[in-house]
Chains A and B, each alone.
Chain A
Amino acid sequence: MYKQYLRQAWQLMKQNRFFSAVYIIGTGLAISMVMVMAVVYHIRTANIAPEVNRDRMCYVTNVSFNMNDDKGHLNSCVGPRFAKEVMYNLKTPEAVAVATMTQMMPFTVGDVFMQAPGHDEAPKVSLMGCNDQFWRVYAFTFEEGKPFTEADFQSGLPRAVLTESLSRKLFRKTEVTGQTVLINDVKYIVSGVVADVSGVASDVCADVWIPYTSMAVIMNKMADEKEGSANILVANILLRDADDIGLLKDELAQEVKRYNTTLTEGQVTCNDPVSYVDQMVGSLLRMDVKQTYMTLSIVLLLFLLVPALNLSGLNTSHMQDRIPEIGVRKAFGAPRGTLMSQIFVENMLLMLPGGVAGLLFSYVLVFLFRNLLLSSGVFAMQMGTGGSIFLSAGMLLNWEVFLYAFVVCLVLNLLSSMVPAWRAVKVNITEALNA
């Protein structure tokens, strides 16, 4: 039965080429817009290397140090002392990666230049300080060498992990483990080389990673109560289970309380752990999560509504043309439900090429607008890290995205074909035959 529907739908497409073209373009367009959102959502939320544990990640970013006697307060990010005495004591998480916050780097560290001794090239680079657990939480592909070790981190040894492209720029090769590099004229030893990281992974994206314990700017403040507590680090926490976030919140509150008893100049507060998705959605439009979801739903609705109206109009016209046929089918005993399902199948067939075209077009759009859609926010773009966003096939071609595309086709089909179809099917048979 469906085979016959498909055969007829194919004939109809061939006989009404103009209509089919308009219809397929219309669907393709609608689907591409929604798919852009879906692809972006996927790239931003799915576990994509090196951020392979996004579903179990949460963040402690904001730390405030309130000085005694209302002498003011410092609102900043996690400081090295706070990290050591609070974050590393937590028992709930599986691991805690602590890294410098990319957005703060230009203000505290300034421009960072790197050079390999004996080479002329001295490019400006994006530097990230991190701890040893960072390499456990995130799955980097090591082309060469290893990450720096816990011992390296604890002793603040000058060790560096480079990206492949940076290594090539500096040394013209990637076999550089054990070599010396100069980071702002300070000697570091390369411990490993990793594959380049796309700006899509905004938590970890950089050209070079070093133990933050080797950075004087940060470690000079270790003893300081104020800037030791609130500085430029962020804690990216890997939970054992995504549901542990409540437990973590309680434990963190307790640890902060205990930490506060060791302070004499003031007291510390920090934000509750925020899950990856909330963090990402919240930073998207710089509104709170609820408002952001609201705005996005309205946009999504418009994206579906306008094409649905468009296709409904086309379907109405098409159905009017086919009313005699529906009359004949009814005369020979087709129940309404059967006719409706036939129209549904036909439409689906018309939609699928549109869906495929739309999906491909959405890839083009995502590629063209990647800096706008995928950078971690306005700020990151200004810092110039937006340029390093590249997309891999794995981000775009996967069954989740295909599933989204199919569901959108289905919804659009239901929205646009069912009302006109029902009207056509309801027409009296004798009228239909004489139409």
Chain B
Amino acid sequence: MITLTNLEKIYRTKEIETVALENVNLTVNKGEFLSIMGPSGCGKSTLLNIIGLLDSPTSGSVEIAGTNTVNMNDKQLATFRNQKLGFVFQSFHLINSLNVLDNVELPLLYRKVSAKERRAAAEAVLEKVGLSHRMRHFPTQLSGGQCQRVAIARAIVGNPAIILADEPTGNLDSKMGAEVMELLHKLNKEDGRTIVMVTHNDEQAKQTSRTVRFFDGRQVM
């Protein structure tokens, strides 16, 4: 599903050159739930951003769902992200000026989907994450766990094959975190979605189908 070959990412400023990723080769299979672990600054977030096509590698190739994404232009990347990928962020990144329903509809806004269909799809996924009673609320009126469930709903509303989660429980207490993890597992098992998750939490990593560890930009296990 995802194949990274000889991936390298170097950040250059005038004075310093920082190697964020070095010679990364990684394959994620369809239906897998992969967790990436490592200390702060080890490059795991950079890796996730590159897989999510939010950032481009300095060298190497990124192949997702059989398509090599290097050399795609902005518009192609946007379309690809829109259709194949769903994101869940540590800090939720919900848009405060939109209500829950509008937030969830967001990815469909950038497809040719009628308002009615958008509404129906958003309601369906909110049902799935158990928030259909909060559709008219604004993010500021929700708890952290609820926010993250909205974010997950948003990630899956476009029916992407891959979900990328960057420390999805990092801002939540353990009870809410467990709820979110349960939801992700459900998406993985029932819908067969491929999930790549960055986490600090060993417990959570252990529950996933595979864990890779990073240290100083290199894959160590």
Contact = CB atoms under 8 A, between A and B. Distances in A.
Interface stretch (A98-106, A195-203, A264-272, A325-333): A325-333
Interface in A321-361: 324-325, 327-336, 338
Contacts of A11: 97-98, 138
Given A8-B102, A11-B98, A324-B93, A334 B110 contact: yes
Interface string B68-101: 0000001100111111000101000111111000
B65 interface: no
Contacts of B158: 332-333
Nearest to B114: A1
Contacts of A334: 78, 82, 109-110
B106 interface: yes
B18 to A, nearest CB: 14
B49 interface: yes
Contacts of A428: 55
Contacts of B74: 335-336
B98 A429 contact: no
Contacts of B44: none
25 contacts: A1-B115, A3-B115, A7-B98, A7-B102, A8-B98, A8-B102, A11-B98, A11-B138, A12-B97, A327-B93, A328-B95, A329-B106, A331-B52, A332-B81, A333-B82, A333-B83, A333-B107, A333-B110, A333-B158, A334-B78, A335-B78, A335-B79, A335-B110, A429-B49, A433-B54
A4 interface: yes
Contact of A433 (B93, B109, B111, B138): B93
Given A8-B95, A330-B78, A429 B54 contact: yes
B97 A15 contact: yes
Interface of B: 49, 52, 54-55, 74-75, 78-83, 87, 89, 93-98, 102, 105-107, 109-111, 115, 138, 154, 158
Contacts of B102: 4, 7-8
A260 interface: no
Given A4-B102, A338-B110, A433-B89, A331 B97 contact: no
A297 interface: no
Given A7-B98, A325-B93, A433-B54, 13 more contacts: A1-B109, A11-B138, A328-B93, A331-B87, A332-B82, A332-B87, A332-B110, A333-B82, A334-B110, A335-B78, A429-B55, A430-B49, A433-B93
A433 B79 CA distance: 19
Interface residues of A, number: 25
Closest 7 CB pairs of A and B: A333-B82, A11-B97, A332-B107, A429-B54, A335-B78, A328-B93, A333-B110
Given A4-B105, A4-B109, A433-B54, A325 B78 contact: no
A430 B55 contact: yes
A4 B49 CA distance: 28
Contacts of A4: 98, 102, 105, 109
